[in-house]
Amino acid sequence: MRKLIVGSRRSKLALRQSQQFIDQLKEIQPDLDIEIKEIVTKGDRVLDKQLSKVGGKGLFVKEIQNELFDHTIDLAIHSLKDVPSELPEGLTLGCVPDRENPFDAYIAKNHTPLDQLPDGSIIGTSSLRRGAQILAKYPDLEIKWIRGNIDTRLHKLETEDYDAIILAAAGLRRMGWSDDIVTAYLDKETLVPAIGQGALGIECRSDDEELIALLQQVHNQSVARCVTAERTFLKAMNGSCQVPIGGYATEEDDGTIEFTGLIMSTDGKERYQQTERGKDPIAVAEKVSTILKDQGAHKIIEALNDAES
C-alpha cells in the first residue's frame, strides 16, 4: 500500500478522531505509512458568528474535498454530521466506522438537572436544533449561542453567564473527558440528535479502489444503514444549518430500521416529528419526510432557507 495522506481539520477534536481512526487502520495493516495534513475550513475561520449565520452547506468540508480533487490528500476523516447529504461527483464515503455515543451531553454548573434550572437560566449552544428542542420543553429558559472547542466552551461555562451548555457526547468521549463532567446524557426523547451525530465519514475518491478495499475492512454496515436513513431524510427535507433538523436511526437484530425525523421552528413553538420502521433505510426515511411535508414542515424549511439565501 502506498503512503497515505489524511486530510483533517486543525481542531483538537478533528485531529484526535483522525488519529484514532488511523490507529484502527493500523490494527488491520500495521505497516501502513500514514501522514495527517491539517486543513483550515471556512467553519474554522469564522468563530465570531453563530454557525447558522455563516451560511452555506459544507462549512467544515469543502476545502478538504478540494484537496481530494487536487490529489494532495488521499482520504478525509469527517464528523459525519458536518458532511452535506450529497457528495460531489467523483467522491464517495469509503467507509463508516463504529459510532460513538450519538446523543447530546448536558453540562450544568453544580450539576443542576435540566428540569430544575430556574426560569431565565442561560444555556449555551451553537445548534439551532438543540436550542429549539430545549425551548419547546422549557420556554422560560434562555438560549445563548456559544462557539469554540470543548475546552473553550467548558471555560466559558465557568467564567461567563452560562448556567449550562450542551455538547455532542461523542466529542467529549473522543477527547477523553470523564463521564463525571456530564450532568446528563439527553436521550432522543429529550433531544433528537443531529443527523449523523457520533459517526465518522471517511471520504475518498470514487476511483481509488485500493484504498476503498482497505477502508471496507473497518466499515460498520449497521451504522452505515442507520446514517443512510438519517442523511436521506436530510436530503429529502433540504435541511441545512439554518434549519432545526434532527434525525436518529437504530437497527434491530432482524435488520429493521427505526427512524425518527424532526423539524422545528427556531423558537421551538412549531414541531413536526415522526417515527417509522422498515427494512429499507432509504424508504423509511423518505416515508418520514413525506409525512412531515404533508403536515407542513417544509414551510419552515423554505422560510428559513429563503431568509439566508
Q: Residues with catalytic annotation? A: 82
First to last CA, the chain: 45
CA–CA dist 307, 309 (Å, integer):
6
Joined grid coordinates for residue 95: 467507509
Stated as kind and residue range, the H or E segment containing 78 is strand 75-79
3-state secondary structure 205-270: ECCCHHHHHHHHHHCCHHHHHHHHHHHHHHHHCCCCCCCCEEEEEEECCCCCEEEEEEEECCCCCC
Give how far Cα 52 sits from Cα of 47, 125, 263, Å.
12, 12, 15
How many Cα atoms occupy the beta-carbon half-sphere of 109 within 13 Å? 17
140 CB contacts (<8 Å, ≥6 apart)?
A: 119, 120
Using CA atoms in the order 222, 223, 229, 230, what is the torsion angle rounded to 10 degrees?
A: 170
Picking from 230, 217, 225, 242, the residue whose alpha carbon sits closest to that of residue 280 is: 225
96, 219 Cβ separation under 8 angstroms? yes
Cα 265 to its chain centre, rounded Å, is 19
CA pair distance 257, 277, nearest whole angstrom: 5
8's CB contacts (< 8 A; 6+ apart) are 14, 15, 18, 36, 37, 38, 39, 64, 76, 77
Q: Is 149 left (phi over 0), alpha (psi -120 to 50) or beta?
A: beta
